[in-house]
Amino acid sequence: MSKLTSAISNLKKRLDKDEALLVQQEDGYFEKVYVKLNAPATKKEIEHFPFKLPQDYEEFLRLHHGGRLFFTKDGGNNGIELYTIEQILEHRSYYDDDFPENWYPVAMGFDGSFLIVTDQPIEGGYLSWYETGNDFDDDISIGMTFEDWLEKLIIAQGSKFWEWDVRRPTGI
C-alpha cells in the first residue's frame, strides 16, 4: 500500500458516522471538522489534464476526484478544497495570463490561497502554495510531492504545516 493510500485510509478510519473528527487547532482549542472525498476520476477525465501528472497525484485522482478536508459546517474553518480536474481547468482559465506556464491550482484553502501543481521540479518536489493577491515570485515552494503534502496535512490536522518554523520556539 502506498503512503498516499495509507494516509487516506487511516484518516477515514478516524472519522465518525458523520464523516467528522475532533482536532486540536494551533491555538489549542478543539474543533469538529469534516472530511468529504469524492468518487474516483475516470481515465478519460485524467487524460484532460494538459500535461503528464505526477504519479502520486494521479493516484490520488484515481482514488478520489477531489473533495474537502478539515472544514467546519458553520464556515468558520473553510479547510482545504481538493479540486476535480474540471475545477482545476476552470480555475486555471480564470488566471490564465497571470499564472506561470504549467501552473495549475489543484486545491484551495485558507481564504482563497491555492496549492499549485506544475510539471517543473521545485526544491525536491513539484508543489507551491500561492497566497492570493501576492506576486508569483512570493509563492511558497513547498518542495514536496502531493503524497508527502497530503500525509503531512493529515498529521497536522489541516494546519498550514509548511509555514511552521519548527526550529525556533515562539516568544524568543
97-125 exposure pattern, b = at least 16 Cβ within 10 A, e = fewer: eebeeebbbbbbbbeebbbbbbeeeeeeb
What is the mean predicted confidence (pLDDT) over 116-127?
87
Domains, the chain, ordered by start: 3-159 (3.40.1580.10)
Alpha-carbon gap, residue 49 to 5, rounded angstroms: 22
pTM of structure: 0.89
Min mean pLDDT across 70-74, 107-111, 129-133 is at: 129-133
pLDDT at 137: 61
Name the band, by pLDDT with cuts 50, 70 and 90, for residue 16.
very high
Min mean pLDDT across 36-50, 59-73, 99-113 is at: 99-113
- More confidently predicted of 15 and 76: 15
pLDDT at 55: 94
What is the mean predicted confidence (pLDDT) over 75-93?
89
Alpha-carbon gap, residue 105 to 141, rounded angstroms: 14
Min mean pLDDT across 38-52, 91-105, 110-124, 156-170 is at: 156-170
The angle formed by the CA atoms of residues 20, 42 and 158, to the nearest 5 degrees, is 25
Cβ count within 10 A of residue 19: 13
Contacts of 49 (CB under 8 A, 6+ apart): 85, 88, 89, 104
pLDDT at 119: 87
- More confidently predicted of 111 and 153: 153
What is the mean predicted confidence (pLDDT) over 160-171?
69
C-alpha cell read off for 52: 503528464
Determine the distance from the C-alpha atom of residue 147 to the mean position of all C-alpha atoms in its chain, rounded to a whole number. Answer: 10
